Amino acid sequence: MEKSYKLLNLSLTVFLVVYTISGQVTAQEYFNNFPKPKNGNTYVIAHRGVHNDIPENTLAAYQKAIDL
């Protein structure tokens, strides 16, 4: 009985390791999918941090992002 638990534990461990590694991508592969920046090497990105307090895509939202 204990031997079957050890085999099951080993099998699950190997499966999880292989599953985890197979889903990994390198940073270079990840960034190759990004659109190329229009101005040099600068990317302009945003998040929805205060979208409940300030309407998105407004001057107030941009100012809040700068203030943060």
Give CA separation, 7 vs 17, 20, 68, in Å.
Answer: 15, 20, 52
Query: What domain range includes position 40?
Result: 2-67
HSE, CB side, 13 Å, CA atoms: give it for residue 6.
3
Residue 46 is predicted with a pLDDT of 66
For residue 25, give Cα distances in angstroms to 13, 18, 21, 30, 31. Answer: 21, 14, 9, 7, 10
What confidence category does residue 7 fall into, taking pLDDT thresholds of 50, 70 and 90? very high
* Global pTM value: 0.37
**Residue pair 41/22 in contact by the 8 Å Cβ criterion:** no
Tell me the average pLDDT across 34-38. Answer: 80
Domain count, the chain: 1
pLDDT in tens, 11-28: 999 999 988 887 777 777
